[in-house]
């Protein structure tokens, strides 16, 4: 049976249908990714007077894939571990700023600002601090703050002076500082940091304070009383380590009440963890969650920006900290943009996609009314694609990368013209991504998807509308079995 059966509909209505598809495609896929048309996140954020940041830690700063992406897309950096007490003052009075300096240099050379993280925290606190006699803790804390803030003076936009001081019920955590000084350590730490660098914004940063609850209420009262006493508190950091679908609905109101006190309120460590294995629909939910967070920040003048914790999923602390959970960032393990990236770009006023990105989602086979599909979620190289009822599954979720690959399974595999075939009838299969031209595709405004190497069209064999109809390359015909919409 010929693969590209011409439509039996009258010519005029088919043309209308083609135009409708083309219009829908243009609307849903304006990205024009191969032209790198869309602006990077940082330009979009800056146009809205916001920043968009990322965390860098460990070896990330030596990985050129990560640094080029981070430098292009983000304009704020937070060192993940390099400015914490266990790194910066591993023994009393012995300071080590080398790892933090490396990150600051990277940021400066890419015209990015730096959030200093952090000065006083119960965790990643070297053991010697817990052994300091109580009547000496204040002196040790002030010396640490003064030395570190002085070292970075003029290079830090904002400091998380105090990190995670609260218990979930709103009481203060009984750490070395509280035990020695009571609640007075909070104001003392902020004042000490201010004396060392009066130009840095000074933050209290915590988790589970994104919505209105006992913990954020306690922080609100603390902030109010600090401001009443003239303590130079400048901002509140909402870490934003979310569970998929659980961005609190009271987040905007919560941000607004802190802003109304005259404080900045930033999202400092955004990620959105998904129970593994992640499905395609969970990536859509994650995109919604990211959009909610960005929109909340946009709605609050005193929200200066949002920072993500890690660049891509491969960097994330989540799998190590929350076993069974992962894929919480806007880039996948191969640093390809996920739906959350597009949602972020769109929320910031971009076209979604571009800037190394693209779009992600199902490829709808218009003629069949089905979705492009890897049969049985197979991961075997050489498996031929088919069409099947749309499920939102990972085996039907494709990402068009900036180099024109159509990846599946979060970038693990690529859509591939079998054997680099350039003749009609070449099977379209999955294969591990190798950067070759038989794995590059154009999604065209007229609704066709063409192989860059062959120039042929992605085609549902025999114009079948059945589940399991195989997908191949065929001479472009304009028929509906070669029409696709993406996303
Ligand atoms: C995490 C880092 O990402 C990990 O590499 C480290 O092992 C533990 O700390 N809240 C914070 C961050 O304020 O400093 C934490 O960072 C994540 C939770």
> Which whole number is the average pLDDT over 331-348?
94
Residues 441 and 358: beta-carbon distance below 8 Å: no
Give the distance from CA 84 to its chain's centroid: 23
Kindly give the distance from the C-alpha atom of residue 313 to the centroid of ligand 1, in angstroms, as a whole number: 15
Look up 164 and say whether it is catalytic.
yes
Q: What are phi and psi of 54, to 5 degrees?
A: -145, 160
Q: Counting every residue, how long is the chain? A: 487
Whole-angstrom distance, CA of residue 161 vs CA of residue 203:
6
- Distance (angstroms) between ligand 1 centre and the Cα of 83 equals 11
Q: Whole-angstrom Cα distance, residue 188 to residue 185?
A: 5
Give the tens place of pLDDT for each residue, 367-421: 898 999 999 999 999 999 999 998 989 999 998 876 688 999 988 899 999 999 9
CA atoms lying within 13 Å on the CB side of residue 442: 14
| Nearest CA residue ID for atom 2, ligand 1 | 80
Q: Is pLDDT above 50 for 1?
A: no
Q: Which CATH number fits domain 39-347: 3.30.365.10, 3.20.20.80, 3.40.50.2020, 3.40.640.10?
A: 3.20.20.80
Which residues are registered as beta bridge partners of 406? 400
Helices and strands: H and E segment counts in the chain: 14, 23
Confidence of residue 13 (pLDDT cuts 50, 70, 90): very low
> Residue 456 in contact with residue 473, Cβ under 8 Å?
yes
- Give per-residue pLDDT as tens, 143-181: 999 999 999 999 999 999 999 999 999 999 999 999 999
269 close to ligand 1 (CB < 6 Angstrom): yes
Fold of the CATH domain 11-34+359-486? Trefoil (Acidic Fibroblast Growth Factor, subunit A) (2.80.10)
Give the position, in ligand 1's atom list, of the atom nearest the Cα of 55.
Answer: 3
* Whole-structure pTM value: 0.70
Question: Is the distance from the beta carbon of residue 80 to the nearest atom of ligand 1 less than 6 Å?
Answer: yes
3-state secondary structure of 287: helix
Can you say how many angstroms the Cα of residue 373 is from the centroid of all Cα atoms in its chain?
26
Residue ranges, CATH 3.20.20.80, the chain = 39-347
Please tell me which residue, 445 or 89, carries the higher pLDDT value. 89
Residue 446 pLDDT class (50, 70, 90 cuts): low
Q: Tell me, yes or no, if 269 is annotated catalytic.
A: yes
pLDDT in the model for residue 285? 94
CATH 2.80.10.50 domain extents, the chain? 11-34+359-486
Instruction: Dump the DSSP string for 10-53.
Output: -HHHHHHHHHHHHHHHHHHTTT-GGGT-SPPHHHHHHHTT-EEE
Across the range 332-338, mean pLDDT stands at 94
Q: Kindly give the number of the ligand 1 atom that is closest to the alpha carbon of 163.
A: 13
Catalytic residue among 82, 89, 164, 239: 164
Q: Is the CB of 317 under 6 A from ligand 1?
A: yes
Whether 4 shows a pLDDT value over 50: the answer reads: no
**What distance lies between CA 423 and its chain's CA centroid?**
40
**What confidence tens digit (pLDDT) does each residue in 114-132 have?**
999 999 999 999 999 999 9
**CA-nearest residue, atom 12 of ligand 1:** 80
């Amino acid at each position: 049976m010929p693969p590209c059966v011409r439509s039996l509909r009258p010519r005029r209505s088919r043309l209308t249908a083609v135009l409708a598809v083309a219009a829908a495609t243009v609307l849903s896929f304006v990205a024009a990714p191969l032209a790198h048309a869309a602006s990077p996140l940082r330009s979009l954020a800056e146009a809205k007077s916001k920043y968009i940041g990322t965390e860098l830690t460990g070896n990330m700063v030596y990985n050129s894939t990560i640094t080029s992406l981070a430098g292009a897309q983000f304009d704020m950096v937070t060192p993940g571990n390099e400015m914490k007490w266990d790194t910066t003052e591993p023994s009393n009075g012995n300071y080590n700023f080398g790892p933090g300096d490396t990150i600051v240099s990277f940021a400066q050379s890419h015209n990015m600002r730096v959030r200093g993280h952090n000065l006083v925290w119960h965790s990643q606190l070297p053991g010697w601090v817990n052994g300091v006699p109580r009547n000496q803790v204040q002196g040790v804390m002030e010396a640490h703050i003064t030395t570190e803030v002085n070292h970075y003076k003029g290079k830090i936009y904002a400091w998380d002076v105090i990190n995670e001081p609260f218990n979930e019920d709103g009481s203060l955590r009984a750490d070395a500082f509280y035990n020695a000084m009571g609640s007075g350590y909070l104001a003392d730490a902020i004042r000490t940091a201010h004396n060392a660098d009066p130009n840095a914004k000074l933050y209290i940063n915590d988790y589970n304070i994104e919505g209105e609850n006992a913990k954020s209420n306690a922080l609100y009262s603390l902030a109010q009383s600090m401001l009443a006493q003239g303590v130079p508190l400048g901002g509140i950091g909402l870490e934003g380590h979310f569970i998929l679908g659980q961005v609190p609905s009271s987040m905007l109101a919560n941000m607004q009440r802190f802003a109304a006190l005259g404080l900045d309120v930033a999202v400092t460590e955004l990620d959105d963890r998904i129970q593994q294995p992640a499905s395609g629909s969970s990536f859509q939910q994650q995109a919604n969650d990211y959009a909610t967070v960005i929109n909340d920040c946009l709605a609050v003048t005193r929200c200066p920006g949002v920072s993500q914790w890690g660049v891509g999923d491969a960097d994330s602390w989540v799998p190590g900290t929350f076993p069974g959970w992962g894929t919480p960032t806007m880039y996948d393990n191969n640093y390809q943009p996920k739906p959350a990236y597009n949602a972020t770009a769109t929320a910031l006023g971009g076209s979604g996609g571009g800037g190394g990105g693209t779009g992600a989602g199902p490829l709808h086979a218009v003629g069949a009314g089905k979705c492009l599909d890897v049969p049985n979620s197979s991961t075997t190289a050489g498996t031929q694609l088919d069409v099947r009822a749309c499920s939102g599954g990972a085996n039907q979720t494709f990402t068009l990368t900036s180099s024109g690959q159509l990846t599946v399974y979060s970038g693990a595999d690529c859509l591939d013209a079998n054997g680099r075939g350039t003749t009609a009838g070449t099977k379209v299969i999955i294969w591990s991504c190798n950067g070759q031209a038989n794995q590059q595709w154009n999604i065209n405004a007229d609704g066709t998807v063409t192989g860059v190497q062959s120039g042929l069209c992605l085609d549902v064999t025999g114009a079948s509308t059945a589940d399991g109809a195989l997908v191949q390359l065929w001479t472009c015909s304009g028929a509906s079995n070669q029409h696709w919409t993406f996303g």
